[in-house]
Amino acid sequence: MIQLKTPEQIEIMKVAGRITGETLLVAKELIREGITTKEIDDKIRTYIKKCGAKPTFLGYGGFPGSACISVNNEVIHGIPSHKKILKNGDIVKIDVGAYWHGFTGDSAATFGVGEISEEAKRLIEATKESFYKGIEAIEKTPNPRLGDVGFAIENHVKGYGYSVVREFVGHGVGQALHEDPNVPNFGTQGRGVRIYPGMTLAIEPMVNQGTHEVRLLNDGWGVVTADGKLSAHYEHSIAVTDNGVILLTKVD
């Protein structure tokens, strides 16, 4: 069941979103050659708690970290580890959420370590652009549907020769990290769930250089590209209102 949020609830989600977005900026500043993903995760946990919030991901379904930190061909759900040491040229996806007064934010971005390749830069930029194409579809399409959002995202990345992951999708967000509806990064214009004011969604393109196919790692969490090529991720929690779309987790 889709839970439409009241204006008062959206105000609470703005705070949860701001903390989430600030945490992502803290993580961005930590990224450098030689740091471990566990060190980044520890700093993320400390910052969220300093803000009076809780790390949404910590313990979620048994997940052991406060953030998902995925490197290079890892798509999502990378477990932070002292053994995972960042090196020059890596691309790092950090996905994080902060739970505050009964509501959560959820946001992700992809960052480069030192000097990254032009191909990696292109992938990261295309992924970010596709998110905003999805937002544009909500704001500019009369009576928009989720199919309009997914179509806009996939159509944009296909123009670069990339593919969107199909086994994992965006979702509703609010009192729970994952709420109805599912928000695929692909779709057919004019089809799917109608988008109404009061809906709060986590829109998150996951874009692969090669095939859209992925596989699950033996740890039961990490997801990697099936062909070993790079993947990028970009996400914001949004609120749909009568006056347009609010990016709840955008602070930069």
In order of their start, the domains of the chain are: 7-247 (3.90.230.10)
pTM: 0.98
Q: Which tens digits make up the pLDDT trace of 97-134?
A: 999 999 999 999 999 999 999 999 999 999 999 999 99
Residue 45: its pLDDT value, please?
A: 98
Helix, strand, or coil (residue 195): coil
Q: How confident is the model at residue 252 (pLDDT cuts 50, 70, 90)?
A: confident
Q: Which tens digits make up the pLDDT trace of 37-96?
A: 999 999 999 999 999 999 999 999 999 999 999 999 999 999 999 999 999 999 999 999
Strand stretches in the chain, DSSP E = 54-55, 67-71, 74-76, 91-96, 98-100, 103-104, 107-112, 163-164, 170-172, 179-183, 200-203, 206-208, 214-216, 223-225, 231-233, 236-241, 244-247
Residue 78: its pLDDT value, please?
A: 98
State yes or no: pLDDT of 32 exceeds 90.
yes
Q: Which tens digits make up the pLDDT trace of 188-217?
A: 999 999 999 999 999 999 999 999 999 999
Q: Which tens digits make up the pLDDT trace of 141-198?
A: 999 999 999 999 999 999 999 999 999 999 999 999 999 999 999 999 999 999 999 9
